Amino acid sequence: MLIPTDIPIRPDFFGQSAEQFDALVKGWGWPRFRGVQVREWAYQKFVADPERMTNLAKRDRTFLHEHLSFATATLAQNQLSEDGTRKLLLTWAGGAQAETVMIPDGERRTACVSSQVGCPVGCKFCASGINGVKGNLTAGQIVEQVYQLNVLLQQGGDAVGRITNVVFMGMGEPLANYANVMAAVRIMHDPGCFNIGGRRITISTVGVPPKMRELAREGLPINLAISLHAPNESLRKQLIPWAEHFALPEILDAARFYFDQTGREITLEYILLAGVNDQSEHAEQLVKVCRTLRANVNLIRYNEVAGLPFGRPESGDVVRFQEILREGGINAHVRKSRGRDIDAACGQLRRKGEESSSAIVTLGTGK
């Protein structure tokens, strides 16, 4: 049963662009600068409680509280890794849950955000899609993930103090929730909101060619990443059930179109699974794929998921895989593993919460 995550009782503040919010403020008969004040509280000071917006009159604060929803998620879990990675599990009314991760790296603070409750893709090695997809997150729920991380960064006295980059690499297939994802991207990019540069935003997809082409026409300089994970069609179909919908040549053709339209080089994400897709012959096949388009490769050592039959590759196999790519003229990097001590792999925290809830329900019914 799908969770109805897209029917807010009141308009969601974080689901509106600066222009949309200004129009709402005008409709209330308020001066335009009042809308600017509210946005400054939420997007610059990370305050989403109208009662704390002290430069607004008491009646205006009460009005906002009654007519808008601000940051409605409950922080169900908050985990901090030894390497500084932080992972949150957010819960909204109706039961929708999503994970979001903050990854610190030098002067960067990257938010890895979710776009759906669960995932329809069903990658065999991933925890996100084990129970399928239960609904789409709204634009406001996606933007709120960044807000919640900003609040914690500020409270913790972080040196940077705010999210600088956003990657849509959390739960869900972003291009399967295209309208809400693009609305969220424009709000994050909006100078009157989070003002995150387009080149600091990345959308990662398993490959939906029609939507990849639509994204190319949006006029935004955002980065496109393709979750490839296999260098040939047969292995890809074994690992990614979604591959039955779109053939690899179609995806690569859409990727070339994206580069032609935007000038932005494609990133190929490749999770290395021990003994499955991490051997020399796989690297040699991947070189051939990469030569058909302007792309770089991010190699990712698998984070194990309890109950799934996949292992983390040996360091030597990872090094050799990268060497073969580089010898073939491909720009390949091994992404640093982060948050392994807090189940930072996509979907693990939510899955544990669901298992705990199921156990509680079972005990309560006496089954």
pLDDT digits (tens, 9 = 90+) for 166-221: 999 999 999 999 999 999 999 999 999 999 999 999 999 999 999 999 999 999 99
Please enumerate in sequence order all residues whose Cβ is within 8 A of that of 302, keeping only pairs 6 or more positions apart, or say none. Answer: 125, 271, 272, 273, 274, 310, 311, 312, 313
- Here the tokens at position 84 are 């500084």
- Here the tokens at position 112 are 């890895």
- What pLDDT is stored for residue 94 in this prediction? 83
- What pLDDT is stored for residue 60 in this prediction? 96
User: What is the C-alpha separation between 283 and 287, in angstroms, rounded?
Assistant: 6
User: What is the C-alpha separation between 250 and 210, in angstroms, rounded?
Assistant: 9
What's the pTM? Answer: 0.90
Selected from 3.40.470.10, 3.40.50.300, 3.40.1390.30, 3.20.20.70, the CATH number assigned to the domain covering 74-360 reads 3.20.20.70
Architecture per CATH, 13-67? Orthogonal Bundle (1.10)
Asked whether the domain spanning 74-360 has the same topology as the one spanning 13-67, the reply is no
- Here the tokens at position 352 are 């544990």
- What pLDDT is stored for residue 346 in this prediction? 52
- What pLDDT is stored for residue 10 in this prediction? 84
- Parse the chain into domains and list their residue ranges: 13-67, 74-360
Q: Report how far apart, in Å, the C-alpha atoms of 172 and of each of 117, 146, 167, 169, 340 are.
A: 7, 16, 12, 8, 20
User: What is the C-alpha separation between 210 and 184, in angstroms, rounded?
Assistant: 20
Burial of residue 320 (CB within 10 Å: 0-12, 13-18, 19+) is middle
* Residue pLDDT, tens place only, 241-266: 888 899 999 999 999 999 999 999 99
Q: In what order do the strands lie in the sheet with 165-168?
A: 74-80, 86-91, 97-105, 108-112, 165-168, 201-205, 223-227, 266-272, 295-301, 332-335
- Determine which one of 19, 99, 119, 323 is catalytic: 99
- Determine which one of 19, 346, 354, 355 is catalytic: 346
User: What is the C-alpha separation between 97 and 348, in angstroms, rounded?
Assistant: 12
Q: Catalytic residue at 346?
A: yes
Compute φ and ψ for 164, nearest 5 degrees: -105, -25
Residues of the chain where predicted confidence (pLDDT) is lower than 70: 1-9, 129, 339-340, 342-367
